[in-house]
Structure 1
Amino acid sequence: MSDGIRTKVGNSLAKVLGIDVQEKNYYLAEGDGVHTYVDPDPTTGEWIREHTPTWKQVGAYFYNIFPFIHWIGYYNVQWLIGDLVAGITVGAVVVPQSMAYAELAKLDPEYGLYSSFMGVLIYWFFATSKDITIGPVAVMSTLVGNIVIKTQEQHPELDAPVIASALAIICGAIVTGLGFLRLGFIVDFIPLPAITAFMTGSALSIIAGQVKSLLGETADFSTRGATYEMIINSLKYLPTAKMDAAMGLTALAMLYAIRSACNFAARRHPQKAKLFFFISTLRTAFVILFYTMISAAVNLHRRDDPAFKVLGTVPRGFKHAGAPQLTKEIIQSFASELPAATIVLLIEHIAISKSFGRVNNYTIDPSQEFIAIGISNLLGPFLGGYPATGSFSRTAIKAKAGVRTPLAGVITAVVVLLAIYALPALFWYIPKSSLAGVIIHAVGDLITPPSVTYQFWRVSPIDAIIFLAGVIIITFTTIEIGIYCTICVSLAVLLFRLAKARGQFLGQVNVHSVVGDHVLDEATAPQGQAIGGRTAYLPTSRSDGSNPNVKIQQPAPGIFIYRLSEGLNYPNANHYTDYLVDYIFKNTRKADLDADLNPGDRPWNDPGPRAGDSTDRESLLTRPTLQAIILDCASVNNLDVTCVQTLVDVRNQLDRYAAPHRVQWHFAHLNNRWAKRSLAAAGFGQPTSQLMDPNRKWKPIFSVAEMHGDASAVRSKLDSLDGKDVETGLQKEPFTKDSESKSVDESISTGVTSGDKTQLRKGSASKVIIENVNRPFFHVDLTTALESALSYSDSKGSPPS
């Protein structure tokens, strides 16, 4: 069906349904070197085409699911050396850490090794980050341990590994689905204060829970409650500490001592900084090996009665490999914990990967990272793994070790595999208190220092309060409640700011550019630079912090410029317009003051002055009448039905207020075609029939530019119009009715003055109109909008009669 037939059918159907689809046209005749321009409204079909992927995009979608294809063909020996060093270094760290974190998850140590192996082995296929390391982490392991305990209270027949593996599969499926749907942007709704509060509060909770193992306290108290309770109990039962304290405290002190010594040595000897970095990185492996040797010497002949708690038997190989058990009852047992587990699985990983991506000059794809995390957790349980995500400490080590590609994860997997098969006999002697020291040392870096909190306060006090409140909530309740509270409060603050957005009324200031200690003039200005100053628009409330000694002038009597600062949508539409109407009522008067002289004709909320009191009427006479409203829509990208209807209601309200005249509505910086279509459908963008006075030769004002020309050339030509240009400012002479009539009556079809017409004819290149000629009240900038409003108003603040 051709376009013409579709148009005829559509018009006929609209006529039957009583829909007016006709729009008044203001087509301008092409002449004097000026070409008109008409932009057709966007259509529903166009919207569908824009949002329907092409075959090329579909192919790119599947191609991007395996990012390693993009770079594996360029792999070289130099990359291999970097990956080998980083992979082996991280492997030496991940082995003791993963066994320690498994204890947090209420699992045997080998499950941590299984999770580490599967995480680093699978992740590189789908990774968009070369630095991140997937595996067990302290926070996720603690959450898994809490879920295991709660589930076993209701279902004691379920073993901890069964619950953990089922949780990994369900969380992995959820995250993978989000990734394939390309919903990675949802993590952007979790702000930095919520993430830092979660990490700090979780770190404090983990440290408090590890003190019992660090000191070897024999008292029976829970290490899974609120942080403050664990701290109190640890101090209360301090006398029950055993020999484990010596192995734990000295191991913790040694870890910090080695790191401090290496940092100090690196500062003193920068040329050997790389060496000291690797020594510092391997401190965890060294400390565990050192204390394992001590334990082996002490407990070699005391395996039945060790002098302190040891890790115990770790089976060689993948003894727990197999299909995980997944039933409806198991899923229902931890269903209420799935939101918190999914959030924890994502936020730490995405936050870390984004951070290291910015540091190392590359960009991650959050949706693709979802797929990588999800598939790692989907396949991990088949070898005995439990939920794993990105590790902050191991990622930092990997980045500093000089990793070149995600393939370094395979090297780490080989190291873990060797540990699983070659070192289980040695693992038996590892002191549990030393592992507790490793955990405390690792999570200590997650605590936000006071300097960052102070920076939060300087940037946004409300964000600092959210951060501190989140830490306090986690300290006195649980990690899950803290996560929910900080995210909900942050979203509530966002919605409050959006709903309570307040516009700004703007005034004019003539500004000049200054070089050194003098103002630019014709002798010093660069070629094409505007001479004689330019017009800037500043808030009349001075809320922008501009110099209070600068005088901001009202654009014209009865004409108001209103800037929408936060976009326009249904939550804030009424707040915007209420402030607009209230300000206009306070600074203008009705066009017909005698209309409500009879007290019975006045509205109940405006009873008027007392009998014999003429003060109010005299003060009103000094105010202008309302002529035009100019909306600065630079921040407006989309409009919904609610906000458009709100504008229509306000237009009707102000038309009644300005009766018998009508108020002009001009829109500047409206850059979205769908927003223009929305406003045009409500009758904006064109003068109404009441505004179009047949006795006046009013013409709209448009902005023109060189067709395929240079912007500086256009500006230099238009700047020479002796202050009459619609683009660079108002006329320098006072605007009077005579000057207005002259400028309007002598205007050509483009809306520029006769002086402009002569100048336009001088140009060799053709001129084109920037805006749609059918919508003369949609303007490219505020200056053109103000000139257009002035062209239909007089200097006394009243519309022409």
Structure 2
Amino acid sequence: MSQVFTDEVVARAMEDTGSAPSSRRHHGLPHIHKVGTAPKQTLYQEIKHSVKETFFFDDPLSQFKGQSRKRKLVLGMQSVFPIVEWGRDYNLQKFKGDFIAGLTIASLCIPQDIAYAKLANLNPEHALYTSFVAPLVYAFMGTSRDIAIGPVAVVSLLLGTMLTDEIADSKNPDYLRLAYTATFFAGITQLALGFFRLGFLIDFLSHAAIVGFMGGAAITIALQQLKGLLGLKTFTKKTDIVSVMRSVWKPVEHGWNWETIVIGMSFLVFILITNYIAKKNKKLFWVAAIAPMISVVVSTFCVYITRADKKGVAIVKHIKEGVNPASASEIFFSGEYFGAGVKIGVVSGMVALTEAVAIARTFAAMKDYSIDGNKEMVAMGTMNIVGSLTSSYVATGSFSRSAVNYMAGCKTAVSNIVMSMVLLLTLLVITPLFKYTPNAVLASIIIAAVMNLVDVQAAILLWKIDKFDFVACMGAFFGVIFKSVEIGLLIAVAISFAKILLQVTRPRTAILGKLSGTKVYRNILQYPKATQIPGMLIIRVDSAIYFSNSNYIKDRILKWVTDEEVQRTASEFPSIQSLIVEMSPVTDIDTSGIHALEDLFKSLKKREVQLLLANPGPIVIEKLHASKLSDIIGEDKIFSSVDDAVATFGPKGEVK
């Protein structure tokens, strides 16, 4: 950068503009603070600092410095398995809380798992396998005390939809193999993000986009359950609302199954009432938690004694007994479906990770402790890789189960271990009892579970705070319900990136005025009593100046100057002789930004307006010196504050 401008150009520019020290028209001030510069760094130091701030801002290796080899080994074990650290203080009192919480979430997750497996077009046992293996792995490696691990509705639907796009027949053996492959690569994606400390990538999916995506997915999931709730024998494979409603109304002429409708609607009302009671009285959270299991037990018993299954009521039928069989040999590591497995795995893994981290952060904030985002990703990735080898599919944190876990008084991740042991008992002993469970009840459980994902209040708040965020929310929402889950997710990501690009390429600028009786300068729109300085225009740039926005910033400043000159001419206010650019928000500048400032300087020179810079940061001032632009503008025209610039070049009446 030091070669951007030659010494000859600098000298000629200083001569032409009269910016040499002799031309300064100071008002005899005793002292003007000079802009300081940071110590010069080598290229290696700059790269090292940049990498550290991007990937290792929390300095994870600092704990190992000065430690003995034995201590380093212990610290290393704690880093990989946090249970080693908090497990030393574990006691019976904590176990009581975890045991009750584990039993409570197990009673909720068993019926949910059987239902969610249908969303992924998999047999019920695979969801039960998932809730047995994944929580065990997470309990040893995760950093959240409250998150409950297992299959969730949104990820199950996403996985089922994307798998069906590749293999339409879910009975095809390759369908299950592709599910294992997708789960494996979902785990690889999550593990890689955590290991290489790339967790910031999931933050590109904005909160607004997530609200819209989750809401749309919830509506889609609920609509999909109309097949089981109404007893329909044929149903569309598509997830958009138009196709679903056509499937719902087309068979009306042949009649819906009224026994199924009675069963489904009765238990849906029951579950919704228990949810309402739990919301009104937090101490009765367990009522809502055990309602799904009660529904399953009661409906199964009723169907068995009445043999309603012979009258057209669809039932679960057979759930395979026993623990997870190995599935490592089933994963596609090459061949026709390898690419599809990677694609589905990356997408489902990112969505699962986004949901899990959001849930973990929410409950950590409620209990005032911190989670390690990168360790969470490593834990999630490891549990899904292990799950793919043991006949499981993509697992993540469940908000409904985590909320119950929190309300039940969990103390640590041991509640996940308790839940896992209950699932093991279920797989070994209880699964035959679910044979007569009606699908209508499972549909009711899913509908009740996903209703909370439609956050109307959050959407209203988005409208009040940021209209662009609201557009992102609605774009993701309508993309999901009118097209597909993948399209909705794509729209959510696209709008999130569009917002980032818009903010980067069109940063805010503001005209500043002085607050009476102070040396403080503020936005005149926000502070109408702030007065502008005669003969001067003060503009603040609220962004770093890069290639993406440098021309816009230059043109916007010149537009401000033109508009102000017109207004001042009409009001007989002194014309602009000096332009002060307040640069405290400008955290960085690149070569395009340097050229933009040079062009701004030349344009102002033609208007006989001098350019003054106020409070450039250490990186900015270093680059101004390296490019020799500071010599062109004039060292005496770069100030530590706006007040210094006004005191030096402003009207004499402004000097205090």
* TM-score w.r.t. length of structure 2: 0.85
Aligned to 1:642: 592
**Residue 513 of structure 2 is aligned with which of 497, 507, 513?**
507
Matches within 5 A, 1:363-378: 363-378=370-385
CA spacing shift, 1:619–1:163, aligned 2, 3 Å: closer
**Residue 781 of structure 1 is aligned with which of 619, 627, 641?**
641
Aligned to 1:682: 627
Paired with 1:55 and 1:241, the residues of 2 have a C-alpha distance of: 60
CA spacing shift, 1:308–1:36, aligned 2, 3 Å: closer
CA spacing shift, 1:129–1:453, aligned 2, 3 Å: same
Does residue 353 of structure 1 match 2:364? no
Does residue 110 of structure 1 match 2:125? yes
**Residue 303 of structure 2 is aligned with which of 295, 299, 319?**
295
Does residue 577 of structure 1 match 2:593? no
Aligned to 1:485: 491
Aligned to 2:264: 248
Does residue 665 of structure 1 match 2:612? yes
Does residue 538 of structure 1 match 2:522? yes
8 A Cα contact 2:38 2:622, kept in partner = no
CA spacing shift, 1:143–1:39, aligned 2, 3 Å: closer
Aligned to 2:69: none
Paired with 1:462 and 1:588, the residues of 2 have a C-alpha distance of: 33
Does residue 344 of structure 1 match 2:351? yes
CA spacing shift, 1:651–1:620, aligned 2, 3 Å: farther
Paired with 1:104 and 1:455, the residues of 2 have a C-alpha distance of: 31
* Relative contact order, higher structure (CA 8 A, sep 6+): 2
Matches within 5 A, 1:512-661: 533-540=517-524, 542=525, 544=526, 546-547=527-528, 550=529, 552-557=530-535, 559-587=536-564, 627-658=577-608
Paired with 1:123 and 1:56, the residues of 2 have a C-alpha distance of: 23
**Residue 318 of structure 2 is aligned with which of 313, 336, 341?**
313
8 A Cα contact 1:666 1:789, kept in partner = no
8 A Cα contact 1:166 1:325, kept in partner = yes
TM-superposed CA distance for 1:164, in Å, is 0.8
Paired with 2:475 and 2:95, the residues of 1 have a C-alpha distance of: 46
TM-superposed CA distance for 1:156, in Å, is 8.6
**Residue 91 of structure 2 is aligned with which of 53, 76, 95?**
76
TM-superposed CA distance for 1:624, in Å, is 5.5
Greater C-alpha Rg = 1
CA spacing shift, 1:256–1:223, aligned 2, 3 Å: farther
CA spacing shift, 1:782–1:76, aligned 2, 3 Å: farther
In structure 2, give the amino acid aligned to 1:789. F
**CA displacement 1:640-675 (0-9 Å, x = unmatched):** 1111221112112323432xxx8342222x33x222
Matches within 5 A, 1:111-510: 111-153=126-168, 158-218=173-233, 220-238=234-252, 239-264=255-280, 266=281, 274=283, 276-299=284-307, 305=310, 308-318=313-323, 320-323=325-328, 324-329=330-335, 330-449=337-456, 451-510=457-516
TM-superposed CA distance for 1:315, in Å, is 2.0
Gap runs ≥5 in structure 2: 15-19, 22-29, 66-74
* TM-score w.r.t. length of structure 1: 0.70
In structure 1, give the amino acid aligned to 2:301. M
Paired with 1:473 and 1:652, the residues of 2 have a C-alpha distance of: 48
Gap runs ≥5 in structure 1: 1-13, 267-272, 511-532, 590-617, 692-774, 797-801
Paired with 1:331 and 1:186, the residues of 2 have a C-alpha distance of: 25
Paired with 2:594 and 2:6, the residues of 1 have a C-alpha distance of: 21
CA spacing shift, 1:293–1:19, aligned 2, 3 Å: farther
Q: Give SS of 2:389's match.
A: helix
Paired with 2:571 and 2:316, the residues of 1 have a C-alpha distance of: 90
Paired with 1:207 and 1:234, the residues of 2 have a C-alpha distance of: 13
Paired with 1:282 and 1:636, the residues of 2 have a C-alpha distance of: 55
CA spacing shift, 1:361–1:46, aligned 2, 3 Å: same
TM-superposed CA distance for 1:566, in Å, is 3.2
Aligned to 1:87: 102
CA spacing shift, 1:19–1:374, aligned 2, 3 Å: farther
Greater mean alpha carbon deviation, residues 490-499 or residues 679-688: 679-688
Q: Give SS of 2:113's match.
A: helix
In structure 2, give the amino acid aligned to 1:535. K
In structure 2, give the amino acid aligned to 1:343. M
In structure 1, give the amino acid aligned to 2:93. Q
8 A Cα contact 1:89 1:398, kept in partner = yes
Q: Give SS of 1:534's match.
A: coil
In structure 2, give the amino acid aligned to 1:132. I
TM-superposed CA distance for 1:340, in Å, is 3.2
Paired with 1:162 and 1:37, the residues of 2 have a C-alpha distance of: 63
Paired with 1:625 and 1:307, the residues of 2 have a C-alpha distance of: 87
Give the count of matched residue pairs. Answer: 614
Q: Give SS of 1:629's match.
A: strand
In structure 1, give the amino acid aligned to 2:522. L
Paired with 1:619 and 1:173, the residues of 2 have a C-alpha distance of: 66
Paired with 2:218 and 2:170, the residues of 1 have a C-alpha distance of: 29
**CA displacement 1:162-182 (0-9 Å, x = unmatched):** 111111001111111111111
8 A Cα contact 2:120 2:161, kept in partner = yes
How much identity, in percent, do the aligned residues show? 24
Paired with 1:502 and 1:583, the residues of 2 have a C-alpha distance of: 12
Aligned to 2:24: none
8 A Cα contact 2:537 2:578, kept in partner = yes
CA spacing shift, 1:45–1:481, aligned 2, 3 Å: same
Paired with 1:372 and 1:180, the residues of 2 have a C-alpha distance of: 10
Q: Give SS of 1:320's match.
A: coil
TM-superposed CA distance for 1:684, in Å, is 4.6
Q: Give SS of 1:90's match.
A: helix
CA spacing shift, 1:84–1:630, aligned 2, 3 Å: same
8 A Cα contact 1:664 1:687, kept in partner = no
Q: Give SS of 2:511's match.
A: strand
TM-superposed CA distance for 1:366, in Å, is 2.5
In structure 2, give the amino acid aligned to 1:282. I
Paired with 2:318 and 2:288, the residues of 1 have a C-alpha distance of: 29
Aligned to 1:44: 43
TM-superposed CA distance for 1:74, in Å, is 1.8
TM-superposed CA distance for 1:339, in Å, is 4.7
Paired with 1:48 and 1:471, the residues of 2 have a C-alpha distance of: 41
**CA displacement 1:459-479 (0-9 Å, x = unmatched):** 112222322232222111101
Aligned to 1:739: none
Paired with 1:453 and 1:621, the residues of 2 have a C-alpha distance of: 45
The CA RMSD measured in Å over matched residues stands at 3.4
More helix per residue: 2
**CA displacement 1:31-56 (0-9 Å, x = unmatched):** 99x99987533332332443467894
Matches within 5 A, 1:708-727: none
